[in-house]
Amino acid sequence: MAGRLHVVSKTEKQFLDDAVFAVERAKGKKLSGPEKKEVLRVAREQLLGQRETEAAKQARAVERQAAEFTWSKPKPFRR
């Protein structure tokens, strides 16, 4: 199991609130304590997965920028 999220951005907090609200709407009433904890656990796992995905994308972008680039004069269309 992954650790707790210590720092949550405003959009991530909104995502957690929306997840709870969506389940409450589907159920038709307020969630009990254990139900709410379960919904938040799943939502936090999704956030951690999203963070890992963003970190991987960022790492790929850095690698792409770090690749050696050699400039050569473009060949003209006419001879």
What are the Cα distances from residue 29, in Å, to 1, 18, 21, 40, 56? 29, 15, 10, 17, 39
* Mean pLDDT computed over 9-16: 93
What pTM, to 2 d.p., does this model score? 0.69
- pLDDT of 40 over the 90 cut: yes
Using DSSP's 3-state secondary structure scheme, residue 2 falls into coil
Residues 25 and 71: their CA atoms lie apart, in Å, by 58
